[in-house]
Amino acid sequence: MQVLDGKKTSEDIKKEIAIEVQQMKENGEKVPHLAAVIVGNDGASLTYVGSKVRSCQQIGFDSTLVSLPETITEDELLAKIKELNEDDNLDGFIVQLPLPKHINEEKILLAIDPDKDVDGFHPTNFGKMALDMETFIPATPFGIMQLLKRYNVDTVGKHTVVIGRSHIVGRPMSILMSRKGNPGDSTVTLTHSRTKNIEEFTKNADIIITALGVPNYLKADMVKDGVVVIDVGITRVADASHPKGYVITGDVDFDGVSKKSSFITPVPGGVGPMTIAMLLQNTLLARKMRMK
């Protein structure tokens, strides 16, 4: 069994990007600039966004944090997005999800200029991804593809079972794994909350990608020997013995499943850190596209 170390791999990618940024500086070029919009005070979202902005600073990007109150109206947020779209100094920006209930998420995502949509959530970019055109790949699926690639995990002709059909992870993952190439060229089954007898699929899977948000859902008796397991779950589970009062728990019962796996991602330290690295990679791409 080999652990797919997302912490180390993400650091490698960040170092590669930092070298490119240094080169840009030496050439007198403008460095990439990412903005992150956060609405409200959700603890997990604040942590993620803080981490994204810190990573920008670490590798030499310019960054802007736009913190907006929970009470902001949809129109006010749309006005802010228009401003960011038109800001020539900015290469890309993200609006951290989820948004408060009174704001229509779809309307917000549609308002983002696809050329600055480094999350890859706009239908234009999602469509390009499905059609193998160059675009921003959503950060979490992009990070998983990079982990598979950098650890030389063979996906060609394998049966990949994705659990969860979210627009951010499961759905794009199912598309990427079925695209031509390695990683890719998999036969994909996309399972979800209405799938009957999920174990029948997971037991026959060569590769399982879980993005469910149910702690320790995938157990050893649900997988076959030699399986590759990618755990996208990041649920905060209360734990009084921990200084923060919680532990981050994945969808996979790691102790049991790892004994049967050929490759497996840990939580934390697997997919999570990769997500940020790939957001930075997309921002670098945005800068390069704007230079052209």
Candidates 14, 80, 96, 281; catalytic one: 96
Cβ atoms of 147 and 265 closer than 8 Å: yes
Q: What is the DSSP string of 22-63?
A: HHHHHTTPPPPEEEEEEES--HHHHHHHHHHHHHHHHHT-EE
Candidates 52, 80, 206, 231; catalytic one: 52
236 is in an annotated binding site: no
Strand order of the sheet with strand 227-231? Answer: 2-3, 261-264, 227-231, 207-210, 159-163, 187-191
User: Which CB, 93 or 201, lies closer to ligand GUN?
Assistant: 93
As measured in angstroms, the least distance from the Cβ of 119 to ligand GUN is 5
Task: Note the residues at the interface with ligand GUN (CB under 6 A).
Answer: 94-97, 119, 139-140, 168, 275
User: Which CB, 51 or 258, lies closer to ligand GUN?
Assistant: 51
Backbone angles phi, psi at 218, to 5 degrees: -85, 115
User: Which CB, 139 or 218, lies closer to ligand GUN?
Assistant: 139
What is the spatial distance between Cα 79 and Cα 117, in angstroms, rounded to a whole number? 16
38 is in an annotated binding site: no
User: Which CB, 118 or 190, lies closer to ligand GUN?
Assistant: 118
231 counts as catalytic: no
185 counts as catalytic: no
Other residues' Cβ atoms within 10 Å of the Cβ of residue 43: 10
57 counts as catalytic: no
Candidates 91, 119, 231, 253; catalytic one: 119
What is the spatial distance between Cα 182 and Cα 236, in angstroms, rounded to a whole number? 33
45 is in an annotated binding site: no
234 is in an annotated binding site: yes
Which residues are annotated binding-site positions for NADP(+)?
164-166, 234
Per the annotation, binding residues are 164-166, 234
